[in-house]
Chains A and B, each alone.
Chain A
Amino acid sequence: MALSREVYEALEAIVGPGNITEEPATLHAYAYQWMAELVSDVSGGSKFFDRPEAVLVPGSAEEVQAIVKACNRYKLRFHVYSTGWGPWAAPPAKDQILLDLRRMNHILEIDEQNMFAVVEPYVVAGQLQAEAMKRGLNNHISGAGAGTSVLANACCFQGGGPDCIYFASPQDSILSIEWVMPTGEILRTGSLGSGLGWFCAEGPGPSTQGIIRGALGGSGGWGVVTKIAIRLVHWPGPAVMPIEGTVPSYGSPLPEDLFRAAFPAFPSWQAYADAIYRIYDSEIGYIAHRQFVMWGDELQAAFLKIVTDPTRQLCDLQELLEEPEVQKLAEEMRRNFQLILAGMTPRDLEYQRKVLDQILRETGGWNIAAVDEPDLQRYVLLFMIKLCFKNLNFTATGGFIDTYNSVASPDVWASGEIEAGKALLKKYAGRIADAGDQAMGPVSGQGGGGVTGWEDFLFYDPQDPDSAKAAVEVSDEGDRLKAAQGRPPGGMLLGLARATHADERLRAQKLAKIAEYRWQRKLKEALDPNGVGSGNYFWGAEPAQGKDESSETAELPSV
């Protein structure tokens, strides 16, 4: 339903005439999203979710506040995004306006001494990193890559990534927050709430860390976070990373006495898990991730050859797969991860290298020799430190989801789940890409270690209805297999896409089975009494009287 002229004019008066639109073509651009075709009960199998009624590009927290107050006055629902990548960025239902925060794009402060930055929502990780590196600092980058919002990854979404082992998880890196709550009030949390600056999340002002972020963040359902302070870490490299090579095969020749990319590989999953424990214990590593298996354990070696050679193309894949050298590398890489060692001094790097060597000796592992080849070393360092090639997830077919994820202690790698995930993908090979094990994930999702796991990727063709259907079938079957073991569902991305776009009432009924979501509903009602904040939020309905309120997860995937 189109906005009334009264509402439109009220919103236009807040942001100015050039910063609001009802142009149908533009509204469709905001409805278009990755995975829309998989949520076919909403999209009809198209690339389009529901379109917003209008899009606004506010320029300040004050404008956001005025918009939110207007939404409360007119009982108008709003959805909000920063960089807008992913199905959860599209409006979750009809009759909503969308706030695109792209004009709020400033790095407000980098406090070198106290090692934090204050940013607005549209500052992407690659931008902050470039400025931080000039000061000998670095910032966490979400696994989704350099083009995603620092603020949204920290406050509003999962946001973990390959560097958590050293940088800590994003939720642990949030300091103070400026938050336009769903009522339009502005809450400043942590030390900022007491006028003492941005340095602390938990006080002396109010702490809302658990509410604003929790495990997954509010996905835009908690009002609008307009500024955050985020913790930074040490960067021992140059102020500007040097880049060499021809597009797209760029690489970074970093000082060899401070940086080293390694591919630790293991004869068994048990050895792999043991090595992760030892890495936690020895506190080595700057970035640690099982990255390149995103292309599949059968294809990753060939793909590495393609992306590091500007003359190569995907049509070379079959030929490469038949080369003995590539086959050998693929076999070596079957149980490997990528480890970036960064020494704060040359002695530090030397120490870390020796520790790694010892871990490999003790676990029967080895470092894959190919990574010492200079071009690959430069490519891997650039890839992992800048996360500037993360859209390679889409290279093979144009679409991917994750399907059979696991998050747990390192023993999970030896639990048989990798093989189970691979067998599931093989069952559907043909309708989806036949790539093998695609369990990509961090060596640690927490600072210093403690939790690891993976996303089991699946490549499908978004324009091929049968391939898209297969992707959904794999995900559903994976969730059923997990449920049969009493484990949470494995497909995070499709699960979120469905959950955020499902009928709200139905979703609430399903999520009511999970106690956490019932509590979130109570919070949502308290903080958003007019229900104008986005429905893109996980909250559960009140359970029917007399029903068991214990936590239950098995039916989540059927949302």
Chain B
Amino acid sequence: MALEDYRAMMKRCSRCSYCKWIPFAHVKSWRFAKGCPSVEYGKFQSFSASGKFAVSLALLEDRISYTDGLLDIVFQCMLDGCCDLSCKVCRYDLEPVEVMRQLRFKLIDDGQFPFQDIPLIDNLRKEDNTMMMPKAERGKWAEGLDVKDLTQENGEVVFHAGCRFSYDEELWRIPRTAVTLLRDAGVDVGILGRDENCCGGRLCDMGYRGEFLKYAENNIDAWTTAGVKTVVTACSDGYHAFKRLYPSEMNFKFEVLHITQFLDRLIREGKIKFTKKVPMTITYHDPCHLGRRGEPHVPWSGEQKKIRGQVLIYEPRKPRYNGATGVYDLPRNLLKSIPGITLVEMERNREYAWCCGAGAGVRERYPEFSSWTAGERIDEAAFTGAEAIVSACPHCERNFTDAIADRSGAMKVYDIVDLVREAL
């Protein structure tokens, strides 16, 4: 598929602005009714999903050409997908996120990218990570851990750390704990360490589809060679890449689990038992790529048809990616099972959660916007009375931590894995 294939969709947008808000059914206040960070920060209509339908159409119809302003419109957006969800509350025939992805692919293919990408992509091509770090240091996070090296021996489960966890030293405690928990529970788990590749998911959202495909193929080759059956990650970006993107692009036979899903399995099997109280009031932030964008890929091949004259249908039934089957309850249930934890909800949660601001390269390309978006979420978390915001993604956690530091805030940031460790 290419942007051109979505031309009809671009003409069917009603420009109703639902994409700017959380679903109106869920609006509980004036303050937290907005759903799209991009248009709230960018202000102009073009920054909304509806605006991007219009911009895409104008581009295809040669009404506009590339400018720096156009690049900002396209790339100053986390592709968090709240617009997509809100649109699909009523529309069964529009795919806002897919159009925005295709728009990015087109721009990158045409050599149009934000100047901020230059060092990142240069480094990526040399060092295979999005963190501007040397490849040689990728496995450093696991030093001293007694865990299988899957480049040397086979294992049933691979723990994929991902770029952020591999290089963000302050966060190393999380993948180290995760791997230890799995290993101690008797799971045949290993890592690829220095030879682990970027998952490519973030690159794909940034528009670099070619790089994404390269990394996807490399990862699948490495897992196949190591006899892997199950891929576990504590990174929601990685989860989305493996669960949704890889199967949509290539033959994919691996079970994919987010660490919260695996921990839940181990708790239910009695292999992890909590022994300590963690007395804390927390709120849970749904990572976009584990929640509404974390729905599994469902193969489909078919066409759009009309019945009753003009009513648009897909034949055969086309899978709807509207956030309904994202991972929402399981992390909450896991948190609630920890003794002492009181879980309170933010107004915007589950499929209509506000984004952390880190996704799709925005943290690197537009740091002020990224920080503002995170700050909005921190404000919302504080509104609940929680003393900590808990998530299940290193990108969310890094962005929240930095935004709190920028604001001299007191809110604490944890990964679910942190709290599980505390309760053991």
Which residues does A use to contact B, with CB under 8 Å? Answer: 18-19, 21, 23-26, 28-34, 37, 46-48, 55, 57, 83-85, 100, 102-103, 107, 123-124, 126-131, 145-147, 240, 243, 246-248, 250, 252, 299, 310, 313-318, 382, 386-399, 429-435, 459-464, 467
Contact = CB atoms under 8 A, between A and B. Distances in A.
B23 interface: yes
A34 B48 CA distance: 16
Contacts of B28: 130, 240
A391 B91 contact: yes
B15 A33 contact: yes
Contacts of A317: 307-308, 311, 313
Given A25-B64, A29-B46, A432 B309 contact: yes
A389 B89 CA distance: 7
B309 A433 contact: yes
B324 A391 contact: no
A432 B29 contact: no
Q: Which of B58, B307, B315 has the most C-beta atoms of chain A within 10 angstroms of its own C-beta?
A: B58
B17 to A, nearest CB: 5
A315 B315 contact: yes
Contact of B311 (A25, A46, A146, A397): A397
Contacts of A127: 27, 29-30, 33
Contact of A313 (B25, B92, B306): B92
Interface of B: 7-8, 10-18, 21, 23-30, 33, 43-46, 48, 50-51, 53-55, 57-59, 61, 63-65, 67, 69-70, 73, 85, 88-94, 306-318, 320, 322-324, 351
B322 to A, nearest CB: 6
B322 A248 contact: yes
Nearest to A388: B24
Contacts of B7: 463
Nearest to A107: B30
B43 A57 contact: yes
A26 B46 contact: yes
A432 B63 CA distance: 29
Given A25-B64, A389-B90, A395-B91, A315 B351 contact: no
Interface centre among A57, A248, A314, A460 (most CB of B within 10 A): A248
A102 B45 CA distance: 10
A145 B312 contact: no
B155 to A, nearest CB: 37
Contact of A398 (B11, B43, B61): B11
Contact of A126 (B21, B93, B324): B21
A128 B59 CA distance: 37
A314 B69 contact: no
Contact of A25 (B11, B70, B306): B70
Given A26-B45, A28-B58, A126-B33, A247 B313 contact: no
B54 A145 contact: no
Contact of B90 (A46, A103, A318, A395): A395
Given A28-B46, A127-B33, A313-B317, 16 more contacts: A23-B73, A25-B55, A48-B54, A48-B58, A55-B44, A130-B30, A248-B322, A313-B92, A315-B316, A318-B308, A391-B14, A394-B16, A399-B12, A431-B310, A461-B306, A462-B12
Contacts of B58: 24-25, 28-29, 32, 48
A268 B63 CA distance: 53
A23 B311 contact: no
19 contacts: A26-B69, A28-B64, A32-B57, A34-B15, A37-B11, A48-B63, A100-B45, A130-B27, A240-B28, A247-B85, A247-B323, A247-B351, A250-B26, A315-B315, A389-B24, A391-B14, A393-B14, A394-B12, A434-B308
Contacts of A318: 307-308
A396 B312 contact: yes
A247 B18 CA distance: 14
Contacts of B323: 247
Contacts of B63: 24, 28, 48
B38 to A, nearest CB: 12
Contacts of B11: 37, 47, 398, 462-463
A243 B24 contact: no
Nearest to B94: A398
A248 B89 contact: yes
Contacts of A315: 313-318
A386 B18 CA distance: 14
B22 to A, nearest CB: 10
A22 to B, nearest CB: 9
B23 A26 contact: no
A25 B69 contact: yes
A394 B311 contact: no
Contacts of B25: 243, 250, 252, 382, 386, 388-389
A47 B57 contact: yes
A145 B308 contact: no
B288 to A, nearest CB: 15
A397 B44 contact: no
B292 to A, nearest CB: 9
B383 to A, nearest CB: 14
A247 B91 contact: no
Nearest to B320: A313
Nearest to B308: A434
Contacts of A390: 90
A147 B17 contact: yes
B306 to A, nearest CB: 8
Contacts of B320: 313
B54 A28 contact: yes
Contacts of A147: 16-18, 21, 24
Nearest to A134: B29
A28 B69 CA distance: 13
B314 A100 contact: no
**The 3 residue pairs across chains A and B that have the minimum distance between CB atoms:** A398-B12, A388-B24, A32-B54
Of the candidates A23, A25, A390, the one having the most CB atoms from chain B within 10 angstroms of its own CB is A25
A278 to B, nearest CB: 32
A462 B50 CA distance: 15
A30 B45 CA distance: 7
A508 to B, nearest CB: 28
A107 B29 CA distance: 11
Given A100-B44, A130-B28, A247 B89 contact: yes
B23 to A, nearest CB: 7
B369 to A, nearest CB: 12
A31 B14 CA distance: 13
A250 B315 contact: no
Contacts of B308: 299, 317-318, 433-435
Given A48-B63, A83-B17, A147-B24, A397 B310 contact: yes
Given A25-B55, A395-B91, A463-B8, A85 B310 contact: no
A85 B46 CA distance: 14
Nearest to A251: B25
A460 to B, nearest CB: 6
B54 A250 contact: no
Given A23-B70, A126-B33, A459 B310 contact: yes
Contacts of B61: 46
B310 A433 contact: yes
A470 to B, nearest CB: 9
Contacts of B306: 461
Q: Which of B7, B8, B43 has the most CB of A within 10 A?
A: B43
Given A34-B15, A248-B89, A431 B64 contact: no
Contacts of A252: 25
